[in-house]
Amino acid sequence: MKRAHTRPNFLTMVKFLQNSILALSSLISFSHANQNSTATVSGYESYCQQNTLTIRIPYTNAKTAELLAFEAGTCSGSGTSGLIHSYNYNATTQYATFEVKIDECGLDSNTTSHNDTMSFTAVANITLGANDAGKELVFYNALLGAECGETNDYTVTFTYSSSIDTSGGVVCEVNEAGECIVPAYNRYTFGFVEYESDAYVSPVTEDTRETVANEFIYLKLSSADLPSYKKFAIKKCTVQRGDSTYEVFNPAEGVCDNSFIDLSFGYDVSYEDQTLKTHAMIEHRLFLLGQETSEDVYSLQCEIKVCDRSDGSSDCNMWSGCLTEQGEQEDYVCDVEMQASCEDGTKCSLLPSPRSNEGSCELD
């Protein structure tokens, strides 16, 4: 009797392959790379970057590396590319790479917030194999993904000199559904550097840092790993010494000036090594908080926010009202990335009051 060719029961196949993955998961080790927002599990890699979930799968059989099917959120498909996905197999590196759009497929619909980190679990069901005369031969099926997230709120601290002279001189995490989830958080690094003058060219040394009250101190706040499509803004800055605090300025609340310390504050948006960077410069007269003598650390703490440059109504832009010099606010809000997001025939400009801190693409 001739046996009919039938497709294997998909759910049975998935369950079998999931169990195989679960058995393997106890043997694999996990490494978490914050700076590249990449997580790896025994060769598997997950990326969450700019609205794209990328999964790289180690796979040795080039003859059976066709993407037969995928399901990701509300999206599904197959083949090498489509409107919301792309797929390729590299026989040299023996990696299958799958990419899918996060927003379009609703992969971020379960976003939660915890400790200033917004996160969501993005999962894709990926089936690899071959098609032989119309018959699909399944060689790989797995539910893979990443716990994507990004920390947008930071507090950055600069510690003043301790002697100010006032005299005048991954393991693969398998969730309840059997899905292999790899954490891949974006967390950026920020820091202050003190400079010798308002030219912000020469950083100070331990011997040249400012230690005399009533003299100016020049501080630059920046990030070495913030990508070009991101920028940051200062929410507020506070001086702290022991239990005493003093708010220096608060752009989020429109408190921009502090005449007691001759405060000057602004941003520099420019390219460095072909990467668009944002720096914040803070200049003020050095002072001590209170008269009591103590060994308490004396520091400046600034709360900052990370935003997408293409988001005209971001918190970063809403806090830009302190930029009052001619063209300064528009340069910050309508930077190169924001201008590039505008359609042909339009350009970014500041909206009129009362939304004057917001950038919008208007007819040129």
Tell me the two tokens of residue 337.
Answer: 């990335």
Tell me the two tokens of residue 352.
Answer: 């009129």
354 upstream amide cis, omega within 30 of 0: yes
DSSP labels, 250-290: BGGGTB---GGGT-EEEEEEEEETTEEEEEEEEEEE---SS
- Does 172 fall in a domain? no
- Does 182 fall in a domain? no
- Does 33 fall in a domain? yes
Q: What is the pLDDT of residues 137-166, one digit of tens each?
A: 888 888 888 878 777 887 788 887 766 665
Residue-level pLDDT at 11 = 32
Distance CA 79, CA 93 (A): 20
Cβ proximity of 146 and 183 under 8 Å = yes
Indicate whether 212 and 117 sit together in one domain.
Answer: no
Cβ proximity of 53 and 84 under 8 Å = no
Of 308, 214, 294, the residue nearest 261 (C-alpha): 214
Which of 129, 151, 173 lies at the terminal end of a domain, its last residue? 151
Indicate whether 254 and 311 sit together in one domain.
Answer: yes
- Does 5 fall in a domain? no
Residues of the chain short of pLDDT 70, as ranges, are 1-42, 114-117, 162-185, 292-295, 355
Indicate whether 337 and 253 sit together in one domain.
Answer: yes
Query: Residue type at 325?
Result: E
Residue-level pLDDT at 29 = 26
Of 306, 158, 338, 285, the residue nearest 235 (C-alpha): 306
Tell me the two tokens of residue 9.
Answer: 């029961």
Distance CA 335, CA 270 (A): 9
* Number of domains observed in the structure of the chain: 2
Distance CA 104, CA 93 (A): 30
Indicate whether 256 and 312 sit together in one domain.
Answer: yes
Cβ proximity of 99 and 122 under 8 Å = no
Residue-level pLDDT at 356 = 80
Check residue 183 and report its DSSP letter. Answer: E
Q: Tell me the CA end-to-end span of the chain in Å, nearest whole number.
A: 75
Report the C-alpha dihedral over residues 220, 223, 226, 231, rounded to 10 degrees: -30
Residue-level pLDDT at 216 = 94
Indicate whether 110 and 217 sit together in one domain.
Answer: no
- Does 178 fall in a domain? no
Q: β-strands 135-151, 180-186: how paired?
A: parallel
Helix (H, G, I), strand (E, B) or coil at 336: helix
- Does 167 fall in a domain? no
Tokens 């976003």 — which residue? Answer: 111
Residue-level pLDDT at 144 = 85
Which of 151, 177, 208 lies at the terminal end of a domain, its last residue? 151
Indicate whether 140 and 223 sit together in one domain.
Answer: no
Which CATH number belongs to the domain containing residue 204 in this structure? 2.60.40
DSSP labels, 165-219: BTT-----EE-TT--EEEEEEE----EEEEESSTT--SB--TTTS--BTTSEEEE
Indicate whether 127 and 216 sit together in one domain.
Answer: no
- Does 62 fall in a domain? yes
- Does 51 fall in a domain? yes
Tell me the two tokens of residue 307.
Answer: 């935003």
Indicate whether 261 and 330 sit together in one domain.
Answer: yes
Handedness of CA 106, 110, 112, 118 (dihedral sign): negative
Of 138, 128, 8, the residue nearest 70 (C-alpha): 128
Which of 94, 129, 151 lies at the terminal end of a domain, its last residue? 151
Cα–Cα separations (whole angstroms), residue 230 to 70, 131, 213, 233, 306: 31, 43, 36, 10, 7
Indicate whether 212 and 330 sit together in one domain.
Answer: yes
Indicate whether 214 and 355 sit together in one domain.
Answer: yes
Q: What is the pLDDT of residues 180-225, one digit of tens each?
A: 665 566 788 999 999 999 999 999 999 999 988 899 999 999 999 8
Q: Which domain holds residue 235?
A: 188-363
What is the longest distance spanned by two Cα atoms in the chain?
A: 105
Indicate whether 334 and 255 sit together in one domain.
Answer: yes
Indicate whether 327 and 218 sit together in one domain.
Answer: yes
